[in-house]
Amino acid sequence: MSRCAHAAAPIGVFDSGVGGLSVLRALRAELPQEDFVYLSDAAHAPYGERTDDYVNARALRVADYLVAQHGVKTLVVACNTATAAAIHTLRERWPSLPIVGVEPALKPAAAASRTKVVGVMATRSTLQSAKFKTLLDKLQGQARFVLQACDGLAGAIESGEAGTAELLCARYVQAMGGFGAMDGQIDQLVLGCTHYPLVGDLLQNLVGPHTTLLEAGPPVSQQTRRVLEQAGLLLPQGIAGTTRLLSTGNTAALGGSALRWLGLGMPVVSAQPDPHG
């Protein structure tokens, strides 16, 4: 399928829920002149506990919806699980649409680490994906990676269960071992799920001041700028862009999260990518 994009069209961003707001936050800071349409596929969350086939099917449905109904000029897959499972399929379906995915920041973490011990917190689905394993294999010998599957954490953040999220963060941080600047300690912690930066302050307090947290938002926003420039689709500076929030599930949950983490107090529109759903 092909399409002709225009610079005035919005940038589409989607995730299984509110986690992609951490990416949207970085995108809005990097590209304040652009319009954004953010879709939370909350009715089918969390992706990290679904099969690859399921996530691939949902990603295709959501992409079709954002292209057909909102005419997006670029698509940002603001979810590690969806990127690993579906980005190749999305690019095959929309060859003329610039598509930007996310991946755990293993390479910059290894480069920045002084202790050469890097922690990675991610969903089990992401850690077991072929895409992640390929990325990890390329970095063998550059650092020791301590991998931690964080079952239930994205779901707790998604549903606003602050107490559960706090308990899970503490459990998983403790399971990973020592954090700090001493030999053998983890001095770089990769947040391999876009939900996790939303509890970044909590995680920073748990790991201490000598461990750096790395999230996907900033590099994704910079890559989005580059692909827009290359495609001649970047709007000029000096204008204020807009943001529209859509959800396939609980609109109030997305609205509350957007107000809390982005300072966006606005209505959320119900979205239905399923043609018969």
Straight-line distance from the first to the last Cα atom of the chain, in angstroms, rounded to the nearest whole number:
23
Q: Find the catalytic residue in 4, 150, 169, 193.
A: 193
Name the amino acid, one letter, at 3.
Answer: R
- Asked if 156 contacts 165 with a C-beta cutoff of 8 angstroms, the reply is yes
Cα separation of 224 and 47, whole Å?
23
169 is catalytic: no
From 192, 221, 167, select the one nearest 26 (Cα to Cα): 221
Q: Find the catalytic residue in 4, 79, 150, 169.
A: 79
What's the full length of the chain, in residues?
A: 277
Cα separation of 198 and 52, whole Å?
25
193 is catalytic: yes
Cβ count near 205 (within 10 Å): 12
Q: State both tokens at 234.
A: 């970047």
Task: Please name the residue that has the structure tokens 């930007």.
Answer: 100
CA distances (Å), 249 to each of 55, 69, 168, 269, in order?
16, 18, 24, 10
User: Mind telling me the catalytic residues?
Assistant: 79, 193
